[in-house]
Chain A
Amino acid sequence: MIRVLDPGPQTTVQDGGRRGQLRYGIPPSGPVDARSFALANRLVGNPDDAAGLEFTLIGPRLRLEAPAAMAVTGADAPVSINDAPAPAWTTLTLAAGDVLKVGAARAGVRGYVAIAGGIDVPAVLGSRSTYLRGRLGGLEGRVLRRDDLLRSGMASGPQPRRAVAARDVPDWRHAPVLRVVLGPQADRFTQDGIAAFAESAYEVLPQSDRMGARLNGPRIAHARGHDIISDGIALGAVQVPGDGLPIVLLVDRQSTGGYTKIATVCSFDIARVGQAKPGQRVRFSVVDVAEAQRLSRAATAEIANVELQEIAS
Protein backbone atom coordinates (compact mmCIF):
# COMPACT_ATOMS: atom_id res chain seq x y z
CA MET A 1 0.00 0.00 0.00
CA ILE A 2 1.22 3.48 -0.91
CA ARG A 3 -0.04 6.70 0.63
CA VAL A 4 0.05 9.80 -1.54
CA LEU A 5 1.58 12.58 0.57
CA ASP A 6 1.76 15.01 -2.34
CA PRO A 7 0.48 14.03 -5.78
CA GLY A 8 2.25 16.65 -7.92
CA PRO A 9 0.24 18.70 -10.46
CA GLN A 10 -0.96 15.81 -12.63
CA THR A 11 -0.18 12.25 -11.65
CA THR A 12 -2.30 9.41 -12.98
CA VAL A 13 -2.36 5.63 -13.03
CA GLN A 14 -1.47 4.27 -16.49
CA ASP A 15 -0.83 0.82 -17.93
CA GLY A 16 -0.14 -0.36 -21.47
CA GLY A 17 -3.34 1.38 -22.64
CA ARG A 18 -6.87 0.49 -23.68
CA ARG A 19 -7.41 -1.27 -26.97
CA GLY A 20 -10.44 -1.62 -29.20
CA GLN A 21 -12.40 1.34 -27.80
CA LEU A 22 -11.54 4.05 -30.32
CA ARG A 23 -14.59 2.97 -32.36
CA TYR A 24 -16.68 4.03 -29.36
CA GLY A 25 -14.83 7.34 -29.07
CA ILE A 26 -12.61 6.24 -26.18
CA PRO A 27 -8.87 6.81 -26.70
CA PRO A 28 -6.20 4.29 -25.65
CA SER A 29 -4.58 6.51 -22.98
CA GLY A 30 -1.52 4.79 -21.46
CA PRO A 31 1.92 6.38 -21.06
CA VAL A 32 2.99 9.13 -23.47
CA ASP A 33 6.56 7.76 -23.25
CA ALA A 34 6.03 4.01 -23.58
CA ARG A 35 9.74 3.11 -23.54
CA SER A 36 10.49 4.84 -20.22
CA PHE A 37 7.30 3.35 -18.78
CA ALA A 38 8.26 -0.19 -19.86
CA LEU A 39 11.76 0.16 -18.43
CA ALA A 40 10.43 1.37 -15.06
CA ASN A 41 8.30 -1.76 -14.90
CA ARG A 42 11.17 -4.01 -15.93
CA LEU A 43 13.36 -2.60 -13.15
CA VAL A 44 10.86 -3.85 -10.57
CA GLY A 45 10.23 -7.23 -12.22
CA ASN A 46 6.83 -6.33 -13.73
CA PRO A 47 5.57 -6.99 -17.24
CA ASP A 48 6.23 -3.92 -19.43
CA ASP A 49 2.55 -2.93 -19.40
CA ALA A 50 1.83 -3.25 -15.66
CA ALA A 51 0.02 -0.30 -14.07
CA GLY A 52 2.26 2.45 -12.71
CA LEU A 53 2.17 6.22 -12.27
CA GLU A 54 2.77 8.93 -14.83
CA PHE A 55 3.57 12.36 -13.43
CA THR A 56 3.75 15.66 -15.27
CA LEU A 57 6.63 18.13 -14.69
CA ILE A 58 6.72 17.56 -10.92
CA GLY A 59 6.77 14.13 -9.32
CA PRO A 60 4.80 12.86 -6.35
CA ARG A 61 5.79 12.27 -2.75
CA LEU A 62 4.72 8.80 -1.63
CA ARG A 63 4.96 6.89 1.65
CA LEU A 64 5.18 3.13 1.56
CA GLU A 65 3.08 1.24 4.05
CA ALA A 66 4.91 -2.01 3.20
CA PRO A 67 8.34 -2.78 1.73
CA ALA A 68 8.51 -2.76 -2.06
CA ALA A 69 10.83 -2.40 -5.03
CA MET A 70 10.22 0.78 -7.01
CA ALA A 71 11.79 2.64 -9.92
CA VAL A 72 11.59 6.12 -11.43
CA THR A 73 12.22 6.79 -15.14
CA GLY A 74 11.18 9.19 -17.89
CA ALA A 75 11.72 12.90 -17.34
CA ASP A 76 15.01 13.77 -15.65
CA ALA A 77 13.93 14.66 -12.10
CA PRO A 78 15.63 14.41 -8.71
CA VAL A 79 14.68 11.33 -6.69
CA SER A 80 15.09 10.92 -2.96
CA ILE A 81 14.23 8.37 -0.30
CA ASN A 82 13.70 9.92 3.15
CA ASP A 83 15.39 13.07 1.77
CA ALA A 84 18.57 11.20 0.78
CA PRO A 85 19.30 11.37 -2.96
CA ALA A 86 18.53 8.15 -4.82
CA PRO A 87 19.18 7.20 -8.44
CA ALA A 88 16.61 7.21 -11.22
CA TRP A 89 16.52 4.41 -13.82
CA THR A 90 17.48 2.02 -11.00
CA THR A 91 15.65 -0.51 -8.83
CA LEU A 92 15.01 1.13 -5.45
CA THR A 93 14.43 -1.03 -2.40
CA LEU A 94 12.09 0.70 0.00
CA ALA A 95 11.09 -0.30 3.53
CA ALA A 96 7.77 0.29 5.22
CA GLY A 97 7.52 3.95 6.24
CA ASP A 98 10.02 5.13 3.63
CA VAL A 99 9.10 8.27 1.71
CA LEU A 100 9.92 8.38 -2.00
CA LYS A 101 10.00 11.87 -3.46
CA VAL A 102 10.37 12.85 -7.09
CA GLY A 103 11.04 16.54 -7.66
CA ALA A 104 10.63 18.94 -10.58
CA ALA A 105 11.79 17.77 -13.99
CA ARG A 106 15.08 19.31 -15.13
CA ALA A 107 14.47 17.96 -18.62
CA GLY A 108 11.52 16.12 -20.09
CA VAL A 109 7.89 16.47 -19.04
CA ARG A 110 6.56 13.05 -18.07
CA GLY A 111 8.04 10.70 -15.51
CA TYR A 112 7.12 7.22 -14.41
CA VAL A 113 7.03 5.54 -11.02
CA ALA A 114 6.72 1.76 -11.02
CA ILE A 115 6.14 -0.49 -8.03
CA ALA A 116 6.71 -4.24 -7.93
CA GLY A 117 3.37 -5.95 -8.55
CA GLY A 118 1.90 -2.91 -10.30
CA ILE A 119 -0.88 -0.68 -9.00
CA ASP A 120 -4.05 -2.53 -8.25
CA VAL A 121 -6.97 -0.48 -9.50
CA PRO A 122 -9.94 -2.08 -11.28
CA ALA A 123 -9.46 -2.73 -14.99
CA VAL A 124 -12.06 -0.78 -16.99
CA LEU A 125 -12.63 -2.01 -20.55
CA GLY A 126 -9.54 -4.15 -20.17
CA SER A 127 -7.17 -1.45 -18.92
CA ARG A 128 -6.14 0.36 -15.75
CA SER A 129 -5.15 3.51 -17.66
CA THR A 130 -6.71 6.81 -16.67
CA TYR A 131 -8.54 8.79 -19.35
CA LEU A 132 -8.96 12.11 -17.56
CA ARG A 133 -11.38 13.87 -19.94
CA GLY A 134 -13.64 10.81 -19.89
CA ARG A 135 -13.24 10.29 -16.10
CA LEU A 136 -12.49 6.66 -16.96
CA GLY A 137 -10.16 4.04 -15.48
CA GLY A 138 -7.22 4.51 -13.12
CA LEU A 139 -8.17 5.77 -9.68
CA GLU A 140 -11.81 6.88 -10.13
CA GLY A 141 -10.91 8.35 -13.51
CA ARG A 142 -9.02 11.26 -11.95
CA VAL A 143 -5.58 12.57 -11.00
CA LEU A 144 -4.11 11.40 -7.69
CA ARG A 145 -4.92 13.49 -4.63
CA ARG A 146 -3.27 13.90 -1.28
CA ASP A 147 -4.03 10.97 1.06
CA ASP A 148 -5.09 8.62 -1.72
CA LEU A 149 -4.16 5.03 -0.92
CA LEU A 150 -2.83 2.90 -3.76
CA ARG A 151 -2.79 -0.85 -3.39
CA SER A 152 -0.03 -2.72 -5.17
CA GLY A 153 -0.50 -6.10 -6.79
CA MET A 154 1.43 -9.25 -5.98
CA ALA A 155 5.15 -8.75 -6.65
CA SER A 156 6.99 -11.47 -8.53
CA GLY A 157 9.36 -12.03 -5.57
CA PRO A 158 12.42 -10.22 -4.21
CA GLN A 159 13.89 -7.99 -6.92
CA PRO A 160 17.59 -7.88 -7.72
CA ARG A 161 18.83 -4.30 -7.88
CA ARG A 162 19.40 -3.35 -11.47
CA ALA A 163 19.90 -0.19 -13.49
CA VAL A 164 19.43 1.02 -17.04
CA ALA A 165 22.92 1.77 -18.46
CA ALA A 166 23.69 5.46 -18.96
CA ARG A 167 23.86 4.97 -22.75
CA ASP A 168 20.24 3.75 -22.74
CA VAL A 169 18.90 6.69 -20.70
CA PRO A 170 17.36 9.28 -23.04
CA ASP A 171 18.53 12.87 -22.95
CA TRP A 172 15.53 15.17 -23.29
CA ARG A 173 17.53 18.43 -23.47
CA HIS A 174 18.13 18.41 -27.21
CA ALA A 175 15.62 19.71 -29.74
CA PRO A 176 14.21 16.48 -31.16
CA VAL A 177 13.81 15.71 -34.83
CA LEU A 178 10.52 13.83 -35.21
CA ARG A 179 10.23 11.36 -38.05
CA VAL A 180 6.90 11.74 -39.87
CA VAL A 181 5.13 10.00 -42.73
CA LEU A 182 3.27 12.52 -44.92
CA GLY A 183 -0.49 12.04 -45.05
CA PRO A 184 -3.27 11.10 -44.79
CA GLN A 185 -4.19 14.59 -46.10
CA ALA A 186 -0.84 15.95 -47.33
CA ASP A 187 -2.58 16.69 -50.66
CA ARG A 188 -4.66 19.36 -48.91
CA PHE A 189 -1.60 21.59 -48.38
CA THR A 190 0.35 23.83 -50.74
CA GLN A 191 3.95 22.99 -51.66
CA ASP A 192 5.00 25.99 -49.57
CA GLY A 193 2.89 24.71 -46.68
CA ILE A 194 4.57 21.31 -46.75
CA ALA A 195 7.98 22.94 -47.07
CA ALA A 196 7.29 25.17 -44.04
CA PHE A 197 6.27 22.12 -42.04
CA ALA A 198 9.24 19.99 -43.09
CA GLU A 199 11.93 22.65 -42.81
CA SER A 200 11.01 24.83 -39.82
CA ALA A 201 11.45 24.56 -36.09
CA TYR A 202 8.24 24.59 -34.05
CA GLU A 203 8.01 25.55 -30.41
CA VAL A 204 5.97 23.49 -27.94
CA LEU A 205 3.17 25.58 -26.38
CA PRO A 206 2.18 25.38 -22.70
CA GLN A 207 -1.39 24.34 -23.61
CA SER A 208 -0.04 20.92 -24.61
CA ASP A 209 -1.34 17.91 -22.72
CA ARG A 210 -1.89 14.17 -23.07
CA MET A 211 -4.43 14.85 -25.81
CA GLY A 212 -2.03 16.74 -28.03
CA ALA A 213 1.16 18.77 -28.28
CA ARG A 214 0.33 22.23 -29.60
CA LEU A 215 3.08 23.87 -31.59
CA ASN A 216 3.88 27.41 -32.68
CA GLY A 217 5.95 28.38 -35.70
CA PRO A 218 5.62 29.16 -39.39
CA ARG A 219 2.01 28.73 -40.50
CA ILE A 220 1.25 25.82 -42.77
CA ALA A 221 -0.83 26.88 -45.77
CA HIS A 222 -3.82 24.78 -46.86
CA ALA A 223 -4.53 24.19 -50.53
CA ARG A 224 -8.32 23.79 -50.37
CA GLY A 225 -9.54 24.81 -46.93
CA HIS A 226 -8.92 23.14 -43.60
CA ASP A 227 -12.10 21.08 -43.23
CA ILE A 228 -12.39 17.46 -44.33
CA ILE A 229 -15.11 14.87 -43.99
CA SER A 230 -14.42 13.79 -40.39
CA ASP A 231 -12.30 10.66 -40.12
CA GLY A 232 -10.21 8.68 -37.65
CA ILE A 233 -7.17 10.29 -36.00
CA ALA A 234 -4.10 8.06 -35.64
CA LEU A 235 -1.56 8.35 -32.84
CA GLY A 236 0.86 11.11 -33.83
CA ALA A 237 -1.44 12.69 -36.41
CA VAL A 238 -0.33 16.26 -37.13
CA GLN A 239 -3.59 18.15 -37.38
CA VAL A 240 -3.52 21.60 -38.94
CA PRO A 241 -6.67 23.65 -38.25
CA GLY A 242 -7.50 26.98 -39.87
CA ASP A 243 -4.80 28.93 -38.03
CA GLY A 244 -2.11 26.87 -39.79
CA LEU A 245 -0.42 25.79 -36.54
CA PRO A 246 0.18 22.07 -36.07
CA ILE A 247 -1.07 19.92 -33.20
CA VAL A 248 0.50 16.48 -32.69
CA LEU A 249 -2.21 14.20 -31.31
CA LEU A 250 -1.21 11.92 -28.46
CA VAL A 251 -2.60 9.09 -26.34
CA ASP A 252 -5.74 10.85 -25.02
CA ARG A 253 -6.66 12.20 -28.48
CA GLN A 254 -10.17 12.53 -29.87
CA SER A 255 -10.92 9.40 -31.93
CA THR A 256 -12.11 11.32 -35.01
CA GLY A 257 -12.00 14.88 -36.26
CA GLY A 258 -12.67 17.15 -39.19
CA TYR A 259 -9.38 19.01 -39.66
CA THR A 260 -6.72 18.18 -42.24
CA LYS A 261 -3.80 16.07 -41.08
CA ILE A 262 -0.62 16.87 -42.97
CA ALA A 263 1.47 14.00 -41.58
CA THR A 264 1.78 11.48 -38.77
CA VAL A 265 4.63 11.40 -36.24
CA CYS A 266 6.01 7.85 -36.07
CA SER A 267 5.22 5.86 -32.93
CA PHE A 268 8.89 5.63 -31.94
CA ASP A 269 9.15 9.45 -31.79
CA ILE A 270 5.95 10.07 -29.80
CA ALA A 271 7.92 10.02 -26.54
CA ARG A 272 10.24 12.69 -27.87
CA VAL A 273 7.46 15.15 -28.65
CA GLY A 274 5.69 14.24 -25.39
CA GLN A 275 8.88 14.90 -23.42
CA ALA A 276 9.57 18.28 -25.06
CA LYS A 277 8.92 21.07 -22.55
CA PRO A 278 6.89 24.16 -23.39
CA GLY A 279 9.28 26.53 -25.14
CA GLN A 280 11.44 23.69 -26.44
CA ARG A 281 11.71 23.35 -30.22
CA VAL A 282 11.00 20.34 -32.38
CA ARG A 283 11.62 19.70 -36.07
CA PHE A 284 10.09 17.23 -38.45
CA SER A 285 11.86 14.91 -40.84
CA VAL A 286 9.88 13.18 -43.59
CA VAL A 287 10.39 9.44 -44.14
CA ASP A 288 8.40 7.07 -46.34
CA VAL A 289 6.21 4.28 -44.95
CA ALA A 290 8.76 1.53 -45.63
CA GLU A 291 11.48 3.42 -43.77
CA ALA A 292 9.07 4.26 -40.93
CA GLN A 293 8.22 0.59 -40.52
CA ARG A 294 11.85 -0.49 -40.63
CA LEU A 295 12.62 2.07 -37.89
CA SER A 296 9.50 0.99 -35.99
CA ARG A 297 10.56 -2.66 -35.93
CA ALA A 298 14.07 -1.63 -34.89
CA ALA A 299 12.66 0.52 -32.06
CA THR A 300 10.47 -2.35 -30.83
CA ALA A 301 13.51 -4.63 -30.82
CA GLU A 302 15.63 -1.99 -29.07
CA ILE A 303 13.15 -1.69 -26.21
CA ALA A 304 12.91 -5.47 -25.89
CA ASN A 305 16.69 -5.78 -25.78
CA VAL A 306 17.63 -3.01 -23.34
CA GLU A 307 19.96 -4.73 -20.92
CA LEU A 308 19.57 -4.02 -17.25
CA GLN A 309 22.84 -3.99 -15.35
CA GLU A 310 23.04 -5.84 -12.06
CA ILE A 311 24.12 -3.68 -9.15
CA ALA A 312 26.22 -5.28 -6.44
CA SER A 313 24.40 -4.87 -3.13
Chain B
Amino acid sequence: MRFLPAGDLALSVELGDDISVEINTRVRALEFLIGQKALPGVVETVPSYRALLVYYDPTVVGYAALCASLATLAEQAGTTSMPPAREVELPCCYGGELGPDLEPAAQRLGLDVDTLLRLHVGAEYLVYFIGFTPGLPYMTGAPPELTIPRLDTPRVKVPAGTVGIGGIQCCVYSVESPGGFWLLGRTPLRLYDPDAAEPTLLKPGDRVRFRPVDRVEFDDIAARVAAGAFRPVIR
Protein backbone atom coordinates (compact mmCIF):
# COMPACT_ATOMS: atom_id res chain seq x y z
CA MET B 1 0.00 0.00 0.00
CA ARG B 2 1.35 3.42 -0.98
CA PHE B 3 0.03 6.89 -0.24
CA LEU B 4 1.01 9.59 -2.71
CA PRO B 5 0.14 13.27 -2.39
CA ALA B 6 -1.72 14.91 -5.26
CA GLY B 7 -1.53 18.55 -4.19
CA ASP B 8 -3.29 20.09 -1.19
CA LEU B 9 -6.76 18.64 -1.90
CA ALA B 10 -6.18 15.05 -3.00
CA LEU B 11 -4.12 11.95 -2.40
CA SER B 12 -3.73 8.66 -4.22
CA VAL B 13 -3.89 5.30 -2.46
CA GLU B 14 -2.16 2.61 -4.50
CA LEU B 15 -3.12 -0.93 -3.53
CA GLY B 16 -0.85 -2.81 -5.91
CA ASP B 17 1.39 -2.56 -8.95
CA ASP B 18 -0.60 -4.54 -11.50
CA ILE B 19 -3.84 -4.59 -13.39
CA SER B 20 -5.81 -7.42 -11.82
CA VAL B 21 -9.35 -8.16 -10.71
CA GLU B 22 -8.08 -8.85 -7.18
CA ILE B 23 -6.35 -5.47 -6.76
CA ASN B 24 -9.12 -3.52 -8.47
CA THR B 25 -11.74 -5.22 -6.27
CA ARG B 26 -9.86 -3.96 -3.20
CA VAL B 27 -9.76 -0.45 -4.70
CA ARG B 28 -13.54 -0.50 -5.16
CA ALA B 29 -14.00 -2.03 -1.70
CA LEU B 30 -11.94 0.77 -0.16
CA GLU B 31 -14.11 3.31 -1.97
CA PHE B 32 -17.21 1.51 -0.71
CA LEU B 33 -15.93 1.54 2.88
CA ILE B 34 -15.09 5.25 2.74
CA GLY B 35 -18.70 5.88 1.75
CA GLN B 36 -20.04 3.54 4.44
CA LYS B 37 -18.01 5.19 7.20
CA ALA B 38 -18.68 8.70 5.83
CA LEU B 39 -15.01 9.47 6.49
CA PRO B 40 -14.82 13.11 7.66
CA GLY B 41 -13.34 15.53 5.14
CA VAL B 42 -13.55 13.17 2.15
CA VAL B 43 -15.18 15.02 -0.73
CA GLU B 44 -15.03 12.66 -3.68
CA THR B 45 -13.30 9.44 -4.78
CA VAL B 46 -12.13 8.18 -8.17
CA PRO B 47 -11.29 4.48 -8.52
CA SER B 48 -8.95 3.26 -11.25
CA TYR B 49 -7.15 -0.06 -11.94
CA ARG B 50 -5.01 -0.18 -8.81
CA ALA B 51 -5.43 3.21 -7.13
CA LEU B 52 -8.09 5.29 -5.47
CA LEU B 53 -7.82 9.06 -5.80
CA VAL B 54 -9.33 10.66 -2.70
CA TYR B 55 -10.31 14.34 -2.82
CA TYR B 56 -10.60 15.90 0.62
CA ASP B 57 -11.00 19.17 2.47
CA PRO B 58 -7.76 20.08 4.30
CA THR B 59 -9.67 22.43 6.59
CA VAL B 60 -11.40 19.29 7.97
CA VAL B 61 -8.66 16.64 7.85
CA GLY B 62 -4.91 16.81 7.20
CA TYR B 63 -2.84 14.56 4.94
CA ALA B 64 -1.25 12.41 7.64
CA ALA B 65 -4.48 11.86 9.59
CA LEU B 66 -6.37 10.92 6.44
CA CYS B 67 -3.63 8.49 5.35
CA ALA B 68 -3.88 6.81 8.77
CA SER B 69 -7.68 6.35 8.54
CA LEU B 70 -7.41 5.13 4.96
CA ALA B 71 -4.72 2.61 5.92
CA THR B 72 -7.07 1.13 8.53
CA LEU B 73 -9.92 0.92 6.03
CA ALA B 74 -7.66 -0.54 3.33
CA GLU B 75 -6.80 -3.40 5.72
CA GLN B 76 -10.51 -4.26 5.82
CA ALA B 77 -10.96 -3.83 2.08
CA GLY B 78 -9.64 -7.32 1.36
CA THR B 79 -12.43 -9.02 3.28
CA THR B 80 -15.37 -6.62 3.10
CA SER B 81 -18.43 -7.70 1.17
CA MET B 82 -19.81 -5.19 -1.28
CA PRO B 83 -23.38 -5.05 -2.56
CA PRO B 84 -23.91 -7.49 -5.45
CA ALA B 85 -22.66 -6.21 -8.81
CA ARG B 86 -25.20 -5.06 -11.37
CA GLU B 87 -25.41 -7.06 -14.58
CA VAL B 88 -25.89 -4.80 -17.57
CA GLU B 89 -26.85 -6.12 -20.99
CA LEU B 90 -25.58 -4.18 -23.98
CA PRO B 91 -27.34 -5.04 -27.24
CA CYS B 92 -24.74 -4.98 -30.01
CA CYS B 93 -25.11 -5.10 -33.77
CA TYR B 94 -21.94 -6.80 -35.05
CA GLY B 95 -20.31 -6.33 -38.44
CA GLY B 96 -21.49 -4.41 -41.46
CA GLU B 97 -21.12 -0.64 -41.43
CA LEU B 98 -21.46 -0.55 -37.64
CA GLY B 99 -18.58 -2.99 -37.16
CA PRO B 100 -16.29 -2.58 -40.16
CA ASP B 101 -13.33 -4.41 -38.55
CA LEU B 102 -15.20 -7.60 -37.67
CA GLU B 103 -13.90 -9.60 -40.62
CA PRO B 104 -10.38 -8.11 -40.71
CA ALA B 105 -10.08 -8.76 -36.96
CA ALA B 106 -11.17 -12.38 -37.40
CA GLN B 107 -8.64 -12.78 -40.18
CA ARG B 108 -5.88 -11.21 -38.11
CA LEU B 109 -6.73 -13.51 -35.18
CA GLY B 110 -6.92 -16.59 -37.42
CA LEU B 111 -10.54 -17.21 -36.40
CA ASP B 112 -13.69 -17.45 -38.41
CA VAL B 113 -16.21 -14.69 -37.78
CA ASP B 114 -18.63 -17.02 -35.98
CA THR B 115 -15.96 -18.12 -33.53
CA LEU B 116 -14.93 -14.52 -32.85
CA LEU B 117 -18.56 -13.59 -32.22
CA ARG B 118 -19.13 -16.62 -29.98
CA LEU B 119 -16.07 -15.69 -27.91
CA HIS B 120 -17.00 -12.01 -27.65
CA VAL B 121 -20.65 -12.62 -26.82
CA GLY B 122 -19.89 -15.52 -24.50
CA ALA B 123 -17.66 -13.49 -22.18
CA GLU B 124 -18.70 -11.53 -19.13
CA TYR B 125 -16.85 -8.25 -18.71
CA LEU B 126 -16.08 -6.48 -15.44
CA VAL B 127 -16.02 -2.68 -15.35
CA TYR B 128 -12.80 -1.88 -13.49
CA PHE B 129 -13.64 1.80 -13.50
CA ILE B 130 -15.14 4.61 -15.55
CA GLY B 131 -12.79 7.28 -16.77
CA PHE B 132 -11.10 9.51 -19.30
CA THR B 133 -14.31 10.57 -21.04
CA PRO B 134 -17.79 10.61 -19.46
CA GLY B 135 -19.18 7.11 -19.03
CA LEU B 136 -16.24 5.27 -20.67
CA PRO B 137 -15.80 1.82 -19.09
CA TYR B 138 -12.36 0.26 -18.61
CA MET B 139 -13.25 -3.44 -18.77
CA THR B 140 -11.60 -6.78 -18.33
CA GLY B 141 -12.85 -10.22 -19.28
CA ALA B 142 -12.17 -10.48 -22.99
CA PRO B 143 -11.14 -14.05 -23.83
CA PRO B 144 -7.37 -14.39 -24.44
CA GLU B 145 -8.08 -15.59 -28.00
CA LEU B 146 -9.25 -12.05 -28.79
CA THR B 147 -5.96 -10.37 -27.82
CA ILE B 148 -5.01 -8.26 -30.83
CA PRO B 149 -2.52 -5.43 -31.43
CA ARG B 150 -4.13 -2.03 -31.79
CA LEU B 151 -4.65 -0.63 -35.29
CA ASP B 152 -1.49 0.72 -36.90
CA THR B 153 -3.35 3.89 -37.84
CA PRO B 154 -5.92 5.01 -35.30
CA ARG B 155 -9.17 6.41 -36.68
CA VAL B 156 -9.74 10.13 -36.25
CA LYS B 157 -13.39 9.65 -35.32
CA VAL B 158 -15.13 6.64 -33.84
CA PRO B 159 -18.87 7.05 -33.20
CA ALA B 160 -20.26 6.80 -29.66
CA GLY B 161 -21.51 3.30 -28.86
CA THR B 162 -18.89 1.54 -30.97
CA VAL B 163 -17.65 -1.75 -29.49
CA GLY B 164 -14.01 -2.49 -30.15
CA ILE B 165 -11.11 -4.69 -29.13
CA GLY B 166 -7.44 -3.76 -28.79
CA GLY B 167 -4.64 -5.32 -26.79
CA ILE B 168 -6.34 -7.45 -24.14
CA GLN B 169 -9.19 -4.99 -23.79
CA CYS B 170 -12.74 -4.66 -24.95
CA CYS B 171 -13.97 -1.09 -25.15
CA VAL B 172 -17.24 0.71 -25.76
CA TYR B 173 -16.76 4.31 -26.88
CA SER B 174 -19.00 6.54 -24.73
CA VAL B 175 -18.57 9.66 -26.83
CA GLU B 176 -17.31 10.22 -30.38
CA SER B 177 -13.52 10.20 -30.15
CA PRO B 178 -10.37 9.13 -31.96
CA GLY B 179 -9.57 5.44 -31.49
CA GLY B 180 -7.15 2.65 -32.29
CA PHE B 181 -9.37 -0.33 -31.49
CA TRP B 182 -10.74 -2.84 -34.02
CA LEU B 183 -14.42 -1.95 -34.41
CA LEU B 184 -16.59 -5.05 -34.09
CA GLY B 185 -20.04 -3.51 -33.78
CA ARG B 186 -22.13 -0.88 -32.09
CA THR B 187 -24.61 -0.71 -29.23
CA PRO B 188 -27.70 1.46 -29.65
CA LEU B 189 -27.54 2.32 -25.94
CA ARG B 190 -25.95 5.58 -24.83
CA LEU B 191 -23.16 5.10 -22.33
CA TYR B 192 -23.21 8.87 -21.96
CA ASP B 193 -26.29 10.97 -22.54
CA PRO B 194 -26.05 14.54 -21.23
CA ASP B 195 -29.81 14.98 -21.54
CA ALA B 196 -30.72 11.96 -19.39
CA ALA B 197 -31.47 12.25 -15.67
CA GLU B 198 -28.58 9.83 -15.11
CA PRO B 199 -26.14 10.69 -17.90
CA THR B 200 -23.89 7.66 -17.49
CA LEU B 201 -25.10 4.08 -17.92
CA LEU B 202 -22.29 2.06 -16.35
CA LYS B 203 -20.71 2.15 -12.89
CA PRO B 204 -17.43 0.80 -11.54
CA GLY B 205 -17.90 -2.87 -10.65
CA ASP B 206 -20.71 -3.53 -13.14
CA ARG B 207 -20.77 -6.86 -15.03
CA VAL B 208 -21.40 -6.37 -18.74
CA ARG B 209 -22.62 -8.83 -21.36
CA PHE B 210 -23.23 -8.23 -25.03
CA ARG B 211 -26.41 -9.48 -26.72
CA PRO B 212 -26.17 -9.71 -30.50
CA VAL B 213 -28.96 -7.91 -32.34
CA ASP B 214 -29.59 -7.48 -36.04
CA ARG B 215 -29.76 -4.13 -37.78
CA VAL B 216 -33.57 -3.98 -37.55
CA GLU B 217 -33.51 -4.45 -33.78
CA PHE B 218 -30.57 -2.04 -33.47
CA ASP B 219 -32.53 0.67 -35.28
CA ASP B 220 -35.63 -0.07 -33.22
CA ILE B 221 -33.75 0.18 -29.90
CA ALA B 222 -31.90 3.30 -31.10
CA ALA B 223 -35.23 4.97 -31.89
CA ARG B 224 -36.63 4.05 -28.49
CA VAL B 225 -33.46 5.30 -26.77
CA ALA B 226 -33.79 8.60 -28.63
CA ALA B 227 -37.40 8.88 -27.48
CA GLY B 228 -36.43 8.10 -23.90
CA ALA B 229 -38.61 4.98 -24.10
CA PHE B 230 -36.00 2.23 -23.71
CA ARG B 231 -35.09 0.74 -20.36
CA PRO B 232 -31.70 -0.99 -20.47
CA VAL B 233 -31.70 -4.52 -19.05
CA ILE B 234 -29.98 -4.25 -15.67
CA ARG B 235 -30.12 -7.10 -13.16
Contacts and interface: CB of A to CB of B under 8 A. Distances in A.
B226 interface: no
B6 interface: yes
A19 B46 CA distance: 11
Contact of B47 (A23, A125, A300): A23
Contact of A232 (B46, B63, B135): B46
* Among A19, A136, A268, residue most surrounded by chain B Cβ atoms (within 10 Å): A136
Interface string A254-280: 111100010011111000000000000
Interface string A37-58: 0000000000000000000000
Given A23-B47, A134-B192, A141-B194, A232 B19 contact: no
Interface residues of A, number: 48
Contacts of B192: 25, 134
A272 B6 CA distance: 18
A84 to B, nearest CB: 40
A191 B51 CA distance: 25
Nearest to A264: B7
B-side binding surface: helix, strand, loop or mixed? Answer: loop
B131 A184 contact: no
A254 B49 contact: no
A137 B136 CA distance: 19
A135 interface: yes
Contact of A135 (B12, B19, B53, B194): B194
Interface residues of B, number: 46
A26 B130 CA distance: 9
Given A134-B192, A230-B131, A232-B53, A24 B9 contact: no
Which 7 A-B pairs rank lowest in CB-CB distance, beginning with the nearest?
Answer: A232-B53, A256-B131, A264-B7, A232-B46, A184-B4, A234-B6, A234-B10
7 contacts: A181-B8, A255-B46, A256-B46, A256-B129, A257-B132, A264-B7, A296-B58
Interface of B: 4-10, 12, 14, 17-19, 31, 43-53, 55, 58-59, 62-63, 129-136, 138, 174-175, 192, 194, 199-200, 203-204
Given A234-B6, A234-B55, 18 more contacts: A23-B129, A25-B130, A25-B192, A124-B194, A134-B134, A134-B175, A136-B199, A229-B18, A232-B12, A235-B9, A235-B10, A236-B7, A237-B7, A268-B8, A292-B8, A293-B62, A297-B59, A300-B59
